[in-house]
Amino acid sequence: MKKIITVGREFGSGGREIAKLVAEKLGIAYYDKELITLAAKEGGYDPEIFEKVDERATNSFLYSLSMGNFVVDGNANITRELPLADKLHLAQTETIRKLAQRESCVIVGRCANYLLREERGCVRVFLYGEKEQKIKRVQERYGLSREKAESLIKKTDKTRANYYSYYTGENWADMRNFDLALNSSTLPFDAVAETIVDFVKRKERAAR
């Protein structure tokens, strides 16, 4: 049976590392940033633009929403193009659905839990963590002061919550949109990944 695991995560909770471990342990594909490039290719867009939009979306999602361009056609009608952020989201949505159809995989972020909520065999995971541990991790990874790390966590999670709620109409970190929500500060990352793997296997057995 196909295994699809979506991973939502708080910034600094180790979500990417844990998601990669899950993919490794299950021997299946892993997608996060790679997804963007893939979406760009499949949508026929210039990958470079996609990278830029995504960067902007990460820094200020609401700003990127206002980037729709006005288009004047031959009859001097003015219409507004779909903002780049929306185009990117649409292309990603399509790609996520195609990936889930095609192969077993772990997909990080991008509202994948929402997009694939009806998919049989999909396990939707959310990872969060204790504030102090997240700050410490972000400080170490990016070489930031405590204050800057704290502010980056706040800003990034706010952007993720805005993005999620804009495209799904739901609350980003509401556990009811997930099958399994784990505090990654409770266990070592490898043990968190094992917990997810076991959950996936148990679900598979139950579906038989």
Separation in Å, CA 127 to CA 85, 86, 95, 119: 25, 26, 23, 20
Residue 141 and residue 152 in contact, taking contact as beta carbons nearer than 8 Å: no
Nearest to 160 by CA among 32, 20, 21: 32
CB of 21 to its own copies, least distance (A): 14
CB of 107 to its own copies, least distance (A): 18
Contacting its own copies (CB under 8 A), which of 52, 97, 148, 203? 203
Q: Which of residues 127-186 bind its own copies (CB under 8 A)?
A: 128, 173, 175-176, 178-183, 186
Window 78-117: contact mask with its own copies (x via CB under 8 A): ----------------------------------------
Which segments of the chain does DSSP mark as H helices, in order?
Answer: 15-26, 33-43, 47-59, 61-65, 84-102, 112-115, 131-142, 146-168, 189-207
DSSP 81: P
Contacting its own copies (CB under 8 A), which of 86, 123, 133, 148? 123
Helix axes 15-26, 189-207, angle to 10 degrees: 50
**Does the protein bind its own copies through residue 194 (CB under 8 A)?**
yes
CB of 173 to its own copies, least distance (A): 7
Q: How many CB atoms lie within 10 A of CB 150?
A: 17
CB of 96 to its own copies, least distance (A): 20
CB of 13 to its own copies, least distance (A): 11
Q: Tell me which stretch binds its own copies (CB under 8 A): 49-57, 79-87, 150-158, 196-204.
A: 196-204
Separation in Å, CA 153 to CA 29, 78, 136: 27, 40, 11
Query: Would you state the structure tokens that stand for residue 143, as one six-digit string?
Result: 């070489």
Where do contacts with its own copies occur on this chain (CB under 8 A)? Answer: 123, 126, 128, 173, 175-176, 178-183, 186-188, 191, 194-195, 198-199, 202-203, 205-206
